[in-house]
Structure 1
Amino acid sequence: MQISGQHTSVLIAGAGPSGLMMAAQLLRYGIQPVIIDSRQGPTSHSKALAVQARSMEIYRQMGIVDKVLKDGKPAKGITFYDDGKPGAQLLMDSVSDGTTPYPFILMYPQSSNERTLLDYLTMNCCPVYWDTTLTHITQTTDKATATLEANGKTQTLTADWVIGADGAHSPVRKSLNIPFNGDTYKSLFYLIDGKLADRYDIDLIRVFLSTKGLAGFFPMPQEGYYRIIGNLPDGVNEDGSELELNDVLPSLSAIVGRGISVEECRWLITYKLHHRMADNFRLGRCFLIGDAAHIHSPVGGQGMNTGLQDAYNLAWKLAMVINQKANANLLDTYPEERMPVAKRLLKTTDSAFKFAMSKGILSRTFKKYIMTRLLHFMWSKERIRKFFFLTVSQTGITYRDSKLNLHLSNAKKIKAGDRLPCLTIFDEKKQEETDLHQWCFKPGFTLIILGKLIEEDLFKVARWLTQTYNGSINFYYLPPSEKNQHVFDAFEVGKGRHRSILVRPDMHIGFMNDAVDPDRMDRYLSPLTP
């Protein structure tokens, strides 16, 4: 399919999860991007598998989470094995703090995520131009110019903005000469998608640590199927020849401590793992998201989810600029907010991965005699369980240091920059149960006022929003009640007090004040507006 036209508002290079999410989010704001991919079409195979709670919250906001949950498989926890013997077991049913509807890790392959997002794009009449490769890009202060190749023909397309979601070998990043610093891990890894002859009775992620290597078993949505990831011994496959299942099973069985039999192998690949990050996520009118911006080890199932979060963070800002509802300086906050997240992720996954792969005597001793007891002890502490879940689920990501925040409150538990907790509430107006996230489903900022207001003051706030922002800010009011006391406790709102909360379109809190003061909110919002 040939791209019609010579100019577009947004060009997205790459139709993986990050690029598709970017397109889907822009569509929510009425922006029709052009999205291209060098592949012939969507793939049925993909390395990423885990969908974290924060990603499911985004899918819920988009109205597509039911399909994701229906076709996925929740993992109930993680079990660690040492030389084939069961060790610590970390069950997920006790880790969430009750602020998300999804206290688990969902096994839902990247390919399924892509199909779900493609369906969303199709419903919104946004095609993907497959077999279309971006070969070069240049830019001025006004626009970017991309050279594309499709069906043996070369085409030039100009764009106001370009999103590089084109993977670890990103042509966008290379055209911009942005360094991609990092390293490659020494070991050669394999990935098996298959049906096991001897199945496990509980849907847990199982991690086998051994002096012979590392292996992880991840339950797939189809009954009896697992994704198995492990490393091959040093020196194996040095000639780069294609391996077969029987070449891999001896090493896997040695790590697990018993024979592994695969009834049906649907996919087998070998690959190297890398940890790299771009020096900048933005240059002029071009942005990098997902694997084009950062790649790391699969520890914690963070990679695909981080790419989805990149798109989620950037899309609303770009949409507000394109729709002339925000100053272009707002776009500077994308790298300012997302690069620290990527740096922390690379650091933590790299450390965890190196520990898991270490064969030194101190590491072996620790894993064999200390790690299980230490994990059992740590898991018994509610605070540590909560920290673990906040980290893995990505619900604990905060932008407190962002210049987009203004915290004028004495509250210490939840501050501007934090993700809005998904607390269940009783809607006094509709007389029905809902939650704070549902109040933020519409595109744009959302103002939530906690505390008792007289009718005249409520009218003043509504009139101010209508006259100043033409209704573009969604408004909800929650008075004190016994049914909603937990919400007031979470936000530390005392009796007779108030809390004004401006929630960003990505469901992070931008502004928090202990008073209902439209002038203060105006001063917060004014730098964002053109």
Structure 2
Amino acid sequence: MDPVIVAGAGTTGLALSLCLARHDVPVILLDDGSSWHERQPERTVVLRPRTAELLARLGYTAVHTDAARWTAWRTLNRRQEVQYVEFDADAEPSPLHLPQDRLRQGLREALAGQELIKVAPGSRLYAFEQDEYGLSVHTRSAAGGSGPPDTWWRGSYLVGCDGPRSTLRKLLEVRFPGRTAVQRYAVAALRVDLPEPGTALLHRDPPGGRGSQVLARPLPRGVWRVDWSLPPGGQPLTADALVALIRSTLAGWCEGTVPAYDLLGSAEYPVHQRLARRWRSGRAFLAGDAAHLLGALGTQGLEEGLRDAENLAWKLAIAWHQGASDTLLDSYQAERRYAVGARLRAADQALPLLRSSGAWHTVRRSLLSGPMSRHTELLADGHLGRGLLGAPPVYDRSPLALTTPRGASRAALGSGVVAGPGSEAADVPVVALDGTRGRLRERLGRDLLAVLVAPGTGVWDSRHWLTAGLMPQLTAAVAALPTRTELLVAENYPGATAHTVLLIRPDGHVVGAMNGCRPTDLYAYADVARGGPPRQRPADEGAAGLGVDGPPDAGAPEVDESAGATAQLRS
């Protein structure tokens, strides 16, 4: 099989390449240099703990030390506190907040020593052709780049992680509808001492800023990112106006005194909301900003790009190693496009309400009682990872979750504390068959996981239970599954009874659960997870090609343009 070609070496492209390498899939990463910027301290990202764990598994082990964890979140209206959330490592872990350039550099450093990833610097996607055997991708040297001027690459799949102006999306003639500048902000990175270090603050109608809102979020080493909402369609903010805004905001938070501060960086930016019509076309896929733009009300577009990478990587890995059905490959669009679309719809519905000062003051007068308190929560949900704007996605409408094998039901999940297929798996302590102990999420990112809930195993050495109870039969059943699966044992699992067996996808979402060991049902669930049997591969699919000057190899199969696709950037 030929390598997977990833166009774009931004955060999503880097993460996808590392995910694929973790699945033992070779990658050609086309890096046109556009993702490298001068240091911009005001550009930051908020990550949920689950996403930070993904980055650590990919080799960016410093993510937890490079980021700030908030101690609390406050929402104020004028001088009145209307919401307070205190973070707890167990009950509600804090989001992580770090500079984007540090995240990008951490992923770049994780590429070092990755023999399966070939980086093509200075290479810009120009055209591609796909057929039933793979793709031929044509690159040209990026402006000022060091890449070869004219190169053809042969790949099995192509993923466009090439940003909002995606070349691949244009080549595929995929529409990118949505709205421009739904919100407009000024942002600054300040090194300053504020009264509540570690507490993120959303301030509605601050003193001297009636009708606006200010968001302050701590970063490491005494730095804060501060965002001010700006009137839509207004004039660009001048440097003097920005300084006046900073001073008035700091004075309002520091009892009328402006503390000493350093302005490390600033920018003015609009938030766009767009969603590509299609995310897959044959062997070509879109991910990250090439597929969606969001960011209103605290939704995190960069984090959604990382979720795209994790979701797509294991499916391409099955396709690369074993062959895949269209059901499996189509499930990437079905799951991720629906999840991102739900966030965009939630933001669209909430924005008119939250822009209304009348609705906000009604909330304040009602003392946050009844359903009106929801208006306040909407302001924070995207930042805190809650609700429709921020909670982890559930893929319960996926084609990989709609089929339940006969006799297997959600009843195995007991009281329903854990949702059914498509939900995110709980991170419980687990033991591998070799006696290794750890957390379930540490085992994600490679194989399917079969987890047996067996109370009592936590206090016994594995050699005592490997040959007892269900283990011999379950071990044999897991070994016979159509997709490589690792067997783990858990002392308990929320909502599950003893002898429950759960099947979990490499991206941490539940496939299904059953009581006891039923080899037929377990096989059926594994077959659902891979989208059914793979379509038959062409007999001669696959000599890997890493790049040659000139057109595709004359010995390659002839392109059938009626069945495949030919695309070229039109001047």
Pair 428,123 (structure 1): closer, same or farther in 2 beyond 3 Å: closer
5+ long unaligned stretches in structure 1: 1-6, 479-483
CA root-mean-square deviation? 3.5
State the shift of 1:458 in Å. 2.0
State the shift of 1:317 in Å. 0.5
Pair 393,26 (structure 1): closer, same or farther in 2 beyond 3 Å: farther
C-alpha distance in structure 1 between counterparts of 2:518 and 2:197, whole Å: 53
- Name the structure 2 match of 1:77: 72
State the shift of 1:161 in Å. 1.0
Q: How does 1:49-448 map to 2 (within 5 A)?
A: 49-62=45-58, 64-65=60-61, 67-83=62-78, 85-93=79-87, 98=91, 103-125=93-115, 126-150=117-141, 151=145, 153-185=149-181, 188-196=184-192, 198-210=193-205, 211-223=210-222, 225-233=223-231, 236-237=234-235, 244-251=238-245, 258=252, 263-324=261-322, 326-356=324-354, 358=355, 360-366=356-362, 368-370=364-366, 390-391=386-387, 396-405=392-401, 406=404, 408-410=409-411, 411=413, 412-414=416-418, 415-424=420-429, 427=431, 434-438=438-442, 440-441=443-444, 443-448=446-451
5+ long unaligned stretches in structure 2: 456-464, 535-571
C-alpha distance in structure 1 between counterparts of 2:343 and 2:305, whole Å: 12
C-alpha distance in structure 2 between counterparts of 1:52 and 1:235, whole Å: 32
User: One-letter code of the match for 1:466?
Assistant: A
C-alpha distance in structure 1 between counterparts of 2:244 and 2:231, whole Å: 10
C-alpha distance in structure 1 between counterparts of 2:271 and 2:375, whole Å: 29
SS of 1:422's equivalent? coil
C-alpha distance in structure 1 between counterparts of 2:183 and 2:306, whole Å: 28
Q: Which moved more, 1:176-185 or 1:261-270?
A: 261-270
1:16 corresponds to which of 10, 16, 20: 10
With normalisation by structure 1, the TM-score equals 0.82
State the shift of 1:520 in Å. 1.3
User: One-letter code of the match for 2:306?
Assistant: L
Pair 131,428 (structure 1): closer, same or farther in 2 beyond 3 Å: closer
- Name the structure 1 match of 2:28: 34
C-alpha distance in structure 2 between counterparts of 1:417 and 1:236, whole Å: 43
C-alpha distance in structure 2 between counterparts of 1:57 and 1:229, whole Å: 27
With normalisation by structure 2, the TM-score equals 0.77
SS of 1:201's equivalent? coil
Pair 388,212 (structure 1): closer, same or farther in 2 beyond 3 Å: closer
State the shift of 1:87 in Å. 1.7
User: One-letter code of the match for 2:426?
Assistant: P
The percent identity for this pair of structures is: 20
1:476 corresponds to which of 470, 488, 491: 488
C-alpha distance in structure 1 between counterparts of 2:10 and 2:432, whole Å: 42
Q: Which moved more, 1:174-183 or 1:263-272?
A: 263-272
C-alpha distance in structure 1 between counterparts of 2:131 and 2:480, whole Å: 37
C-alpha distance in structure 2 between counterparts of 1:276 and 1:201, whole Å: 36
User: Quick check: 1:461 aligned with 2:471?
Assistant: no
- Name the structure 2 match of 1:450: 453
Pair 80,180 (structure 1): closer, same or farther in 2 beyond 3 Å: same
Pair 442,14 (structure 1): closer, same or farther in 2 beyond 3 Å: closer
Pair 393,82 (structure 1): closer, same or farther in 2 beyond 3 Å: closer
CA contact (8 A) 2:450 2:478 kept: no
Pair 423,171 (structure 1): closer, same or farther in 2 beyond 3 Å: same
C-alpha distance in structure 2 between counterparts of 1:203 and 1:377, whole Å: 25
CA contact (8 A) 1:48 1:304 kept: no
Describe the superposition over 1:352-402 as per-residue Cα deviations: whole angstroms up to 9, x where unpaired: 44444x2x4523523653476679977999xx99x9755489664211222
C-alpha distance in structure 2 between counterparts of 1:378 and 1:393, whole Å: 13
State the shift of 1:262 in Å. 6.9
State the shift of 1:244 in Å. 5.0
Q: Which moved more, 1:33-42 or 1:170-179?
A: 33-42
State the shift of 1:294 in Å. 1.0
User: One-letter code of the match for 2:221?
Assistant: Q
User: One-letter code of the match for 1:288?
Assistant: L
* Count of residue correspondences: 493
State the shift of 1:446 in Å. 1.2
Describe the superposition over 1:475-496 as per-residue Cα deviations: whole angstroms up to 9, x where unpaired: 1234xxxxx4xx25x2331xxx
CA contact (8 A) 2:421 2:510 kept: yes
Higher relative contact order (CA 8 A, sep 6+): 2
